[in-house]
């Protein structure tokens, strides 16, 4: 069964809706100034501490060094660190030895991204493929060419998480075409910039109803 992460959580209400609806993971954008969904590490830690067992906590960060990433992970107590393409391969390798958290490397959905993705599989526990638009990776709310994602699934040996413009209306088709390990959504379950409980429930219902061979 495909797993699902609800990302960009900023408050306990949205967190609890996601958990109750069956989210496998909940994501928090931490100290990324360009993101309207960003919260500070103290807020993230409080929200993470309120998660029940068996629901993973993920922080999405853009650190400039392995040490900065490690501090964010340790200060929040997150299970998983998602690095938004801000660290080199060498820094990712260093980080892997500094923290117990699992590492997810975000890679752009682009024709030339396969070599970069393959390199990151040597240090990351999973890859997240996301849309790249206007010089911005992730958080764009736009769908990319799912054929690129499908090719990546077939050519890497770590779990692949699909992101980019997903919503309750298209996630089933995306899963069928790409067959990812998991899907990730943020803006696709929002109304007027805020998490919408009904959209969260609808998205997770669609994901859980998909059956992969």
According to DSSP H, which parts of the chain are helical?
A: 12-20, 41-49, 66-76, 89-96, 114-120, 146-155, 171-178, 197-209
Q: Are 103 and 95 spatial neighbours (Cβ–Cβ below 8 Å)?
A: yes
The dihedral through the CA atoms of 203, 27, 77, 106 has a sign that is positive
Query: Which one of 24, 130, 167, 184 is the catalytic residue?
Result: 130
φ, ψ of residue 94 to 5 degrees: the values are -65, -45
Query: Which one of 7, 79, 91, 167 is the catalytic residue?
Result: 7
**DSSP-based helix, strand, coil % in the chain, nearest 5:** 35, 25, 40
| Active-site residue flag, 7 | yes
Q: What residues contact residue 86 under an 8 Å CB cut-off, 6+ apart?
A: 61, 62, 63, 64
The two beta strands, 56-61 and 80-83, are: parallel
Q: Are 74 and 101 spatial neighbours (Cβ–Cβ below 8 Å)?
A: no
CA distances 118 to 32, 73, 113, 130, 152, Å, are 26, 24, 9, 15, 9
Q: Is 194 helix (H, G, I), strand (E, B) or coil?
A: strand
| Active-site residue flag, 210 | no
- The residues annotated with a catalytic role in the active site are 7, 130
């Amino acid at each position: 069964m495909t797993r699902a992460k609800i990302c960009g959580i900023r408050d306990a209400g949205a967190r609890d809706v996601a958990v109750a609806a069956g989210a496998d993971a909940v994501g928090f954008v931490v100290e990324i100034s360009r993101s309207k969904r960003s919260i500070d590490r103290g807020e993230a830690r409080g929200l993470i501490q309120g998660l029940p067992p068996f629901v993973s906590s993920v922080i999405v960060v853009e650190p400039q060094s392995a040490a900065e990433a490690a501090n964010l992970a340790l200060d929040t107590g997150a299970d998983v660190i998602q690095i938004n393409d801000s660290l080199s391969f060498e820094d990712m390798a260093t980080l892997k030895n500094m923290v117990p958290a699992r590492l997810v490397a975000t890679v752009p959905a682009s024709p030339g991204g396969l070599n970069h993705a393959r390199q990151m599989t040597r240090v990351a526990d999973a890859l997240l493929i996301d849309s790249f638009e206007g010089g911005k990776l992730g958080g764009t709310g736009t769908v990319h060419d799912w054929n690129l994602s499908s090719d990546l699934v077939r050519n890497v040996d770590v779990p692949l998480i699909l992101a980019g413009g997903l919503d309750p209306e298209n996630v089933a088709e995306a899963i069928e075409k790409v067959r990812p390990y998991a899907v990730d959504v943020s803006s696709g379950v929002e109304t007027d910039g805020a998490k919408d409980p009904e959209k969260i429930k609808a998205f997770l219902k669609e994901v859980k109803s998909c059956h992969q061979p």
